[in-house]
Chains A and B, each alone.
Chain A
Amino acid sequence: MADTILKIEHLNKTFEVDKEKIDILKDINLEIKAGEFITIVGHSGCGKSTLLKIIGGLVEYTDGTVERNGKKVTEPGTDCGMVFQEHRLLPWLKIKDNVAFGLDGVPQDEREKLVKEHINLVHLDGFENVYPAQLSGGMSQRAAIARGLVSNPSILLLDEPFGALDALTRIQMQREIQRIWKEKKTTMIMVTHDIDEAIYLGKRIVVMSARPGEIKTILNVDSAAKNRGSADFAYYKKKIYDHFFEDAEDAPEYII
């Protein structure tokens, strides 16, 4: 398949803690096509961040294959940006320099052009010369998204990027990331613990089980479900909750 941008086959990951091997990820298989928006939901600690970091080349893996753009992942690369839950902007760099952080080695004039373009993309014009401490949480995440996209990567990994924001800002940022996704056509893979967010943004939702992290199911979300008030939306919501609590005795009735 030509337009497969990420291919994960039989990925296992263990961490060694106190000389004991702990299974974190177990037999992950996932194929993502160029331009998709994938959301990943799962219990906290099930290995979602680890999975994203493996895709991004930040964490090593030994078992299985992970291919980004047809190449085995061994290290980070400019083809893959990442946004974390904490904005991780460097406090000592102005916003424009934080955004330019991913452009090490790019010639000056091209760098300036890219920075300007991406600050504009996330609607932070006018804030180029302020320091991160002067921005609100939502604006900081905008800057972090600009940094993640500045080298025009084909994949953007988002690890609970809006998890620390208040509810209204979160919904606003969900719209923003959707707009940016449509504009840039970047493949986006977002981890979230917000099921509404997963349904609203994901074309496919990867549901993971608790430790060790396995893919329980992958749901295709059709576009009719994107309206938060719709019956389809509620249907997906129930379906995801059912997956989470299928083993639990007390199936939650407060869902819908």
Chain B
Amino acid sequence: MEKIKKVLFPFLIPVIVLAAWIYATQLGKVPSSLLPGVSSVGEAFKRQIENGQLIQDLGVSLGRVVKGYAISIILGILLGALMGMSKSMWHLFHGVTTTIRQIPMMAWIPMIILWCGIKELSKVVIIVIAAFFPIMTNTLGGISSTPKEYIEVAKLYKLSRWKTFTKVYLPHAIPQIFVGLKLGLGTSWMAVVAAELIASVSGIGYRLSDARNMMRSDVMIVCMIVIGLVGALMDKIITLLFGVLTPWEKKGKAV
């Protein structure tokens, strides 16, 4: 029974939605200009794959995400760890980061475009801003909640500050850092699509806005579904990576 739940339940809602979609379009209750039929969306998807456009769009968008996300991982973990381990760093940065974090990612886009143009740089900068904060705040949370008992053990064995970081603070923070990495990847993906929607000549977000201009609702739906699925896939990859990197998390009391 558990197994059935695990395998079938995730598909239950998609199937219902699909059925409702087919029902609404087949019976002609909803005009195809508002909601194209499943088959025409399927054909649009096939076309997009065959002419290589979808892959190319995704490649462009993902390339931007990889660059921006990598930068925000480095900056986010670095600053989060510094703030978590040093009181003076915390006082120096906490007020500023808390304030900047309140500005929605969309509100950055106009100024970023003004400063960085509409080429690659602006997309990467927007992703960095979007992904940096969840990574930084979660790293900070994980580092600063390290039990003082463990830190005392490190002190007892006279570990250097760096060794204390790598052997005590960092492993303790890893589960929460991964929460930040997940959130950050999600926001990176959303940020790149948003940025491409607003100003771009390439990428999956651009394809969506281009389809809107051409009144191609089938292509728009293809783009939306692909954006959702790719985001979910990236989320899954991070979850798997977390499992590999924290072998101690799974082991329960066995002996």
Residues of A at under 8 Å CB distance from B? Answer: 56, 58, 75-77, 82, 84, 86, 88, 90-93, 101-102, 104, 127, 130-136, 139
Contact = CB atoms under 8 A, between A and B. Distances in A.
A76 B246 CA distance: 31
Q: Which DSSP category, helix, strand, loop or mixed, fits chain A's interface?
A: loop
A92 B250 CA distance: 11
Q: How large is the interface on B (under 10, 10 to 19, 20 to 34, 35 or more residues)?
A: 20 to 34
A130 B172 CA distance: 18
B251 interface: yes
Contact of B156 (A56, A92, A133): A56
Nearest to B152: A58
Given A58-B156, A82-B156, A84-B149, A90 B167 contact: yes
Contacts of B244: none
Contacts, number: 61
B94 interface: no
B91 interface: no
Interface in B174-209: 174
Nearest to B154: A101
Contacts of A92: 171-172, 174, 246, 248
Contacts of B157: 76, 101-102, 104
Interface of B: 149-150, 152-153, 155-160, 163, 167-168, 171-172, 174, 246-248, 251-255
Nearest to B153: A88
A88 B155 CA distance: 13
**What's the dominant secondary structure at chain B's contact region?**
helix
Contacts of A77: 158
B82 to A, nearest CB: 21
B150 A90 contact: yes
Contacts of B150: 88, 90
Given A92-B172, A130-B255, A135-B255, A104 B163 contact: yes
A130 B252 CA distance: 11
Question: Most chain-A Cβ atoms within 10 A of its Cβ — which of B156, B157, B159, B167?
Answer: B156
Contacts of A127: 255
Given A58-B152, A58-B155, A135-B255, 19 more contacts: A58-B156, A82-B156, A86-B149, A90-B167, A90-B171, A92-B248, A93-B171, A102-B157, A104-B157, A104-B158, A104-B160, A104-B163, A130-B251, A131-B251, A132-B248, A133-B253, A134-B253, A136-B253, A139-B255
